[in-house]
Amino acid sequence: IFFKKGVHHFNRKEYEASIDFFRKALGENPADEKARFFLGMAYYKAGFDESAMFEFNNIIGNEQGDSILSNFVRYLSTKQFLLRRKKKSDDYTIGMEIRGNPLGKYILSKATGIDIDKTGNIYVAGFGSKIALKISHDGRPLLSFVSPKISHGRLYDIVVGKNGDVYISDFTNDSVYHFKTDGKYVGSLGSSGFKAGQFYGPTSLTLDENNDLYVVDSGNVRIEKFSENGDFLLTFGREGDGEGELKRPSGIAVDHAGNIYVSDHGKKTVQVYDRSGNFIRILEGGDLTDPYGISFAEDNRLIISDRDRLMSYDIMHSTWTEIDTGGRLKRVLDVKSDHLGQLYTCDFESDTILQFVPKADKYRNLNVILDRIDAESFPAVVYYVTVLDADGFPIYGLGPDNFLLRIGKGIVGKIDLSYNEVRNSRLRLLFLVDKSASMQQYSREVVSYINRFVSKTSSNDEMAVIGFNHESWIASPFTRSKLRTANAILEEKYAPGKAFDTAFRRGIDYLNREFYKKAIIVVTDGLPADQSFRTYSLESCLRYAANNHIPVYFLSFEGKKDTRLDYFARSTGGKFYDVLHSNDFPYLYNTIKGFRASEYLIFFNDVYDPALSNFYLEAEVEVDYNGRVGKNRLGLIYP
């Protein structure tokens, strides 16, 4: 009875309640391996990783565990190290090869531009065949970017933004086309000419953190910048051999600080400019022969396509490395890196897209976690599955063919992943508002910044507010009312104390009842007090959020970055903002919308068997991603 009640609470995300029942089940029968396994999973989901590993190691020590459990324990034991490291190797091997001539019903020839979206889809511009394609992560063409409103010329480059905006440069027609990622045409930028905002042979493109667009205007030998709305913002650069001048600009990238990097195949250099276009320096020592497309990997490495090779420049240490591509490249004109550290190139001569995988990844399996099973609407069943690579990086863009599900001893037939898009279509935002006495001095600033943020939310989003000082309270339940939310955040209820830990866990409990994409926004002075983590540790709080796929964003009004809260935010996939001195705060809403959890919702319909009613059934999921596999199991009480 205790075990079944524990499973019931676990699959409803009531983890601390399930812990009590699993403990009681083990009190009755200490040898109950299933109860101990679920106790470990409940500890994990509640943020108590050390307690989870203790229970799992008990199972393994009693020779009741298997390779699935051993792999999960190995992941948990290295997870915190992985969170801090988050860096991929420079040692690559060939992964996938996509032939472009033909590619399904399309001909992709003389490709000059490539990009990758956050789900792993590939975008490529074919200069020779005058088409731009969206291709799935496993190499299947999905759509061509066309519109009756435009007549394609020689398409040179393609970039996709975090918000799904796609930009394509047309070298022949002196235009940049704007599409949505589903292929819908939005409009175009530029026209033929020499004035600001006009083009003469636009080539390479890039987007910065604010979704501003940069265009290499090759014929006019300059760089132009446009806002997300298409407004002209800036032009810089002129032709010449002098310092900071350009000869044949051929590639462009922008780092997190807003510095602009421009490759020049005429001068055989990469030059660096500040966000206003002022020259800073040349990247010395690369011995480049023919640099074209450049881009940043997530670990502050600049990757340069240099004729038949790829070069890597470490921004932090000013060091160059040639990436071993096994002699596979003939003339590469662009390169991009995805969040897994995988490189994608388009080869102009061989009409081939090549993927290069960090060598260690190709021979390591996946971390797969079956988080819970929802059978509340049986015969409809939903498996919640987290998929990570061996280094803890999320694997996005998987489809039904990547999953094999089992329930009981049977293999599940047809599965449906469409609910993932439904979940990501709306936000559930929980404001955790510091009402300690030290926050009162910032009440006027909080009014200004919160009103600006709330005004940007969608009519489909819902927001709730929890206030805290020495106690916590629900100041406003989930509502679509922006006014009610803002009033609750600005409530004058200041008092001594700052019990962040209990308020935070209350917030996670509250959010865990919601279906749509979730986030916590902490409004605070950014100065944790001695009692802020008295009941629950900082680590257990951040793991509670991270293990339930809830990013945390700290809005600090003090003006100093607390290293503990910054670590907290980054470990959950969120971010710390020094609000009064931040250029990034205006983009917080888009940042939250752009967050993508590593958890998949996998829906299927089961056939009801009354003979199984109230029995425990094991459930298992197996994932195969480009030859890398992982599996895990859980269970449910049959309705």
Together in a domain, 117 and 41: no
Signed CA dihedral, 11, 14, 16, 17: sign only: negative
Final residue belonging to a domain, choices 346, 362, 378: 362
What residue type is 86 in one-letter code?
A: K
- Give all strands of the β-sheet with 232-236 in edge-to-edge order: 202-207, 213-217, 222-226, 232-236
Please tell me the total count of domains within the chain: 4
Residue 85: its pLDDT value, please? 47
Domain range for 16: 1-85
Residue 601 lies in a domain: no
Together in a domain, 300 and 375: no
**pLDDT, mean over the chain:** 93
CA distance 300 to 255: 8
Residue 417 lies in a domain: no
Residue 418 lies in a domain: no
Residue 189 lies in a domain: yes
**pLDDT exceeds cutoff 90 at 590:** no
Residue 175 lies in a domain: yes
Together in a domain, 216 and 315: yes
Residue of 220, 186, 180 whose CA lies nearest to 203: 220
Token pair 């939250």: residue = 592
Together in a domain, 455 and 340: no
Residue of 595, 403, 408, 547 whose CA lies nearest to 72: 547
CA distance 175 to 187: 10
The 10s digit of each residue's pLDDT in 562-582 is 899 999 999 999 999 999 988
Peptide bond into 102 cis (omega under 30): yes
> 3-state DSSP call for residue 229?
coil
Residue 167 β-bridge partners: 159, 178
CA distance 550 to 381: 23
Residue 584: its pLDDT value, please? 83
What tokens were used for 385?
A: 């599955």
Residue of 313, 314, 359, 354 whose CA lies nearest to 334: 354
What tokens were used for 475?
A: 């100041």
| pTM to 2 decimal places | 0.80
565 dihedral zone (left: phi>0; alpha: psi -120 to 50; beta): alpha
Residue 89: its pLDDT value, please? 56
Residue 436: its pLDDT value, please? 96
**pLDDT exceeds cutoff 60 at 88:** no
Residue 391: its pLDDT value, please? 81
Together in a domain, 275 and 183: yes
Residue of 179, 284, 167 whose CA lies nearest to 216: 167
Residue 82: its pLDDT value, please? 52
Residue 358 lies in a domain: yes
Residue 120 lies in a domain: yes
CA distance 382 to 251: 45
Residue 170: its pLDDT value, please? 98
The 10s digit of each residue's pLDDT in 532-550 is 999 999 999 999 999 999 9
Residue 599 lies in a domain: no
CATH number at residue 65: 1.25.40.10
Final residue belonging to a domain, choices 31, 66, 85: 85
CATH number at residue 173: 2.120.10.30
**pLDDT exceeds cutoff 80 at 336:** yes
CA distance 73 to 79: 10
Together in a domain, 260 and 279: yes
Residue 340: its pLDDT value, please? 85
Token pair 């700290």: residue = 554
Together in a domain, 387 and 294: no
Together in a domain, 356 and 389: no
Together in a domain, 612 and 527: no
**pLDDT exceeds cutoff 60 at 332:** yes
**pLDDT exceeds cutoff 80 at 107:** yes
CA distance 185 to 456: 24
Residue 18: its pLDDT value, please? 98
CA distance 520 to 197: 40
Largest pairwise CA distance in the chain? 83
The 10s digit of each residue's pLDDT in 438-468 is 999 999 999 999 999 999 999 999 999 999 9
The 10s digit of each residue's pLDDT in 354-397 is 999 887 777 678 999 999 999 999 999 999 999 998 888 899 98
Together in a domain, 502 and 405: no
